[in-house]
A and B are shown apart, each in its own frame.
Chain A
Amino acid sequence: MEKTAKVVIVDDEMISRGYMELFIKPSKNYEIAASLPFARDALDWCRKNELPELIIMDVMMTDGPDGLTAAAEIKKRYPRVKLVIATSMADMDWLEKARAAGIESFWFKTYSDLSLLEVMDRTMAGESVYPEKAPDISLGRLPVSNLTRQQRSILRLLTEGCSNREIGEKLHLSPNTVKDYLDDLMDRADIHSRTALAARASRLGIVVCEADRVRE
């Protein structure tokens, strides 16, 4: 890269945003154009200012639209702007959502083997950088990488407080099938109650219920 690329950082956590600024500042390739606390601010900023080359966007926001939704909107309106989703959650379904929205790269803040700068370099070079596998964390004794999409969907609805019947209705499964899935998860994770399973999955960020993510 011959000239510095303008970067906008979007993260509602001050400490996390501060660290990203510190990581990016030493790089000669990037210039921080703005450091914003909310995803809706990024949309406004893009509307009012010269477009940045790259936006680093956190997902979970305490107010306004979440980062995934805002990033999809920015991509739709400003296709030239490259986006990197940065999150401390470990919800693998977000990778699919980000890919589907055309977002270039995805970075797990806490679990990645790549530095942010490397992800940014590769993104700016035209590469799409997505984690190849799930973060190396476990739900009890069950590695998150072993969870199937169906299991994650059931876990997500469980953290929303749905009963087996409600989970079955949303996923077109019978309540008994849902029960079998949950029993299997609890056995493999060595967690002995639905509540503990939901709480642990939520706390680790393995699944994030849609109501918590999408606030608008």
Chain B
Amino acid sequence: MSSIQSAAGSFPWYLVCLISLTLMIGQIAVLVIMLHQGRGKSVLIPAFMQFLAGFFVYTALMDCAVLFLSTPKPYPLTAFEQWLFALPWGVYLGAEILLTAALAFGIAGVLRYRRSHLTPDVIRETVNYLPAAICVCEPDGTVLLANLKMDGLCRTLTKEPLNNALKLWEKLEQLRERGSEEGKDQLMVRTPKGETWLFFRDSFTADGKEYEQIIAEDMTEQHRITEELASENHRLREVQARMREAAVRERSLVAAREITNARMTVHNQMGNVLLVGKYYMDHPENIDEAELLRLLEYNNYFLLGEVEQPDPVADPFEEALRTAAKIGVTVEVTGAVPKGAAREILTQAVLQCSANAARHAGADRMTMTLTEENGELKAAVTNNGDPPAGPVRETGGLAALRRETEAAGGTMTVESRPVFLLTLTLPTEDRGKSTENG
């Protein structure tokens, strides 16, 4: 086998040089990766030795090329160089083969280590892939770890990159969704794009050191479903209130219908009573006068009874309280309920407000507080249900109530925050007229 110096410049020799260069680069890469992985000396030293070996072989090949391919020769050979370059090229080839095998082992080791150990890269990649946004920081807010989602949220919500986690939390508190129930360390925020995120904050200890973490979960879908359910519940409450009202009215209607039917039947028989009278006049011999008189007496009794009997009209205010109770709203009245026009207006207020309380607020209790001051009666009506979402639109019953109140010389105000409050002020009747407690 010829020596390496005789092979210099040949194709095999260029091939070996290329392989040597590639190996060296590979060894450098493996060494860097191992350093990055934080491997111990027992791994790094052999890897470094491999690199040195590869470097030596490559340098030898390059020297050989310089010395034996250039003319004149640049410098005389040392004894070591003479020995080195007299070695058969197979030795260099064998060295390359060994270095290739070592590199392959090194690469396998790197991959194996990567699969079985958590490295900073792995942690970073994993954290970035999480569906939640995460940020870990020191107690003063200095960010130690934050995934791309958290950084993106910070930029979206604050228009700034994530530099300090505590400042981010302060900004989030200003942006929190109104009306949502969270604790001190959690809050719901909606982004300009309509996403809803729930932020949690807590602290933990690791290796004797305190850290803070902020985690955010995407609640957009749940929030949408919750809002849909709330809207559906609201609609169902209205339906339920209407059904209760309808049931109450239906019972009254059924009773009224039966009474009406009975009255109609009786009235329809009036003609037949007269016909019996006519029959008696035509056929007096066929009629028992006593029984006939009994029939007429019964008939007249019924007719007179209808005329004399007054309609038992219950007090409309008391009736209104009963109607409210039937639809599930107990009304507590504090103060003296006046008679006259004011009482009628208060009756309407009870009916309208209790119906609205049941239908829109889900309330089961309503209070009406009556006070008299400077010749004016003030009635404040509120309930224990949900406050209105916005200003109350006065339609239908409320609008009619306002008209009646103002026609009577009074005023009506409706507030929706913090709770629903309807306030009527009405001029009182003459002081001499009586009042009674509702």
Q: How far is the CB of A125 from chain B (nearest CB, A)?
A: 12
B-facing mask of A159-179, CB < 8 A → 1, else 0? 000000000000000000000
Contact assessment for B289 and A26 in the assembled complex, using a CB-CB cutoff below 8 Å: yes
Q: Which of B246-254, B270-278, B417-425 contacts A (4 or more CB under 8 A)?
A: B270-278
Contact assessment for B268 and A110 in the assembled complex, using a CB-CB cutoff below 8 Å: yes
Residue from the list A13, A115, A121 in contact with B276, Cβ < 8 A: A115
Contact assessment for B287 and A28 in the assembled complex, using a CB-CB cutoff below 8 Å: yes
Residue from the list B265, B271, B278, B288 in contact with A25, Cβ < 8 A: B288
Q: Does B170 reach chain A (CB closer than 8 Å)?
A: no
Q: Does B266 reach chain A (CB closer than 8 Å)?
A: yes
> Given the complex of chains A and B, what is the CA–CA distance between A206 and B272 in angstroms?
20
Contact assessment for A23 and B276 in the assembled complex, using a CB-CB cutoff below 8 Å: yes
Q: How far is the CB of A30 from chain B (nearest CB, A)?
A: 9
Contact assessment for B268 and A27 in the assembled complex, using a CB-CB cutoff below 8 Å: no
Q: Does B56 reach chain A (CB closer than 8 Å)?
A: no
Contact assessment for A117 and B279 in the assembled complex, using a CB-CB cutoff below 8 Å: yes
> Given the complex of chains A and B, what is the CA–CA distance between A109 and B269 in angstroms?
8
Chain B positions within 8 Å of A28 at CB level: 285-288
Contact assessment for A110 and B276 in the assembled complex, using a CB-CB cutoff below 8 Å: no
Closest to A110 in B: B268
Q: A26-B288, A26-B295, A115-B279 are in contact. Are A15 and B266 (CB under 8 A)?
A: yes
Q: A16-B269, A19-B269, A88-B268 are in contact. Are A26 and B276 (CB under 8 A)?
A: yes
A interface with B by C-beta (< 8 Å): 13, 15-16, 19, 22-23, 25-29, 88, 109-110, 112-118, 121
Q: How far is the CB of A185 from chain B (nearest CB, A)?
A: 26
Residue from the list B272, B283, B290 in contact with A23, Cβ < 8 A: B272
Chain B positions within 8 Å of A110 at CB level: 268, 271
Chain A positions within 8 Å of B268 at CB level: 88, 109-110
Chain A positions within 8 Å of B269 at CB level: 15-16, 19, 109
Q: A27-B288, A116-B276, A117-B283 are in contact. List 13 more A-B contacts (CB 8 A).
A: A13-B265, A15-B262, A15-B269, A16-B265, A26-B280, A26-B288, A26-B290, A26-B294, A28-B287, A114-B275, A115-B272, A115-B276, A115-B279
Chain B positions within 8 Å of A22 at CB level: 294-295, 298
User: Across chains A and B, which 8 residue pairs bring their CB atoms closest together, nearest first?
Assistant: A115-B275, A26-B291, A26-B292, A22-B295, A115-B279, A15-B265, A25-B291, A19-B269
